[in-house]
Amino acid sequence: MASSLSTDVRAANLAPPGRHLQAGCTESSIRPVQERDYYADPLRYEAEVSFLAADVAWYRDRARQQGGAVLVLGCGTGRLLFPLLAAGLEVTGLDLRPAMLDRARARALTLPRQLTRRLELAQGDMRDFHLPGRFGSVLIPLNGLMHLHRDEEVSACFACVRRHLRPGGRLLFDVTRPVPELLRDFGGPEGIAIRTLHVAGQRYLQRESHHFDPVTQISETVFTYEPLGPGGQPYRCRLRLRMFTPQHLEKLLTDAGFECCEHLDGFGLQVDTAESATQILVARPGRQ
């Protein structure tokens, strides 16, 4: 990846929210914090997820075992696409945001043609897509389903997936489990300093605050990025994700005509504790 990530925030000085003060600056030179879409900067996104590996290996191995072409919904910049290609699979990636797909295409240009000729990229919405062919596996990795905030949206997604699966195909996805620490507010107005990010030659301090709405079951995380050197513009992104209990997920699958084959914890173990932070589901179309 073009970006790297570190977690050394000990030397960082926090400015009040909405304000950024560099060393040597005066109050009059403080710059306002811009609001940006969380997925508008593919390089920053890659820096944030660069440490993740276990899910990539799990999806790769499961897709290879299942056989057939693979569809990745919410494919982003290709974090999962390229390992699937390296495993010898035919891969289609679908994403809503052109910037993410542009970055994936740029990355593909650096790879051998014998790999990328098995790759197709498409812009589209996981709630309503129409692609040629049928797939042995449809994957929704890294909390992708949590971007759908209403049951109707999840049902629409599952219906599209069902239409695109070949006989015997599987739907595989992971979401964050609603553990107690994620069902409370934390961080306050200033946020908590969690790490430094290195993005395109600029170091940023990333701060995080969190709010959970028990009525909508939506978790809103506000990330603030403050430059730690000369240049750069402070900005803020909001990420709104819906929490799902295991029981509700299985009901949504059943209502959409799926059978839940496996409900896993931590990419490999059967769910047996309430403390698990990740739940992984494998489903197949049921008999009509």
> Phi then psi for 56, rounded to 5 degrees?
-60, -50
Report yes or no: 181 and 197 within 8 Å, Cβ to Cβ: no
Q: What is the pLDDT of residue 24?
A: 35
C-alpha dist (Å) from residue 146 to 4, 94, 136, 179, 282: 26, 16, 23, 15, 16
Q: Which amino acid is at 163?
A: R
Q: What is the pLDDT of residue 189?
A: 79
Q: How far apart are CA 203 and CA 131, in angstroms?
A: 40
Predicted TM-score (pTM) of the model is 0.85
> Phi then psi for 160, rounded to 5 degrees?
-65, -45
Write down the domain spans for the chain: 4-48+180-242, 51-178+244-285
Report yes or no: 93 and 114 within 8 Å, Cβ to Cβ: no
Residue whose token pair is 């940006």:
36
Report yes or no: 130 and 98 within 8 Å, Cβ to Cβ: no
Q: How far apart are CA 26 and CA 30, in angstroms?
A: 7
* pLDDT tens digit at each of 288 positions of the chain: 333 333 332 233 333 333 333 333 323 235 678 999 999 999 999 999 988 888 999 999 999 999 999 999 999 999 999 999 999 999 999 999 999 999 999 999 999 999 999 999 999 999 999 999 999 999 999 999 999 999 999 999 999 999 999 999 999 999 999 988 888 898 887 889 999 999 988 999 999 999 999 999 999 999 999 999 887 789 999 999 999 999 999 999 999 999 999 999 887 555 444 445 899 999 999 875
**Do strands 165-176 and 278-285 pair parallel, antiparallel, or not at all (unpaired)?**
antiparallel
Residue 204 β-bridge partners? 197, 227
Class of domain 51-178+244-285: alpha beta
Minimal CA–CA distance to 199: which of 83, 122, 108, 103?
A: 103
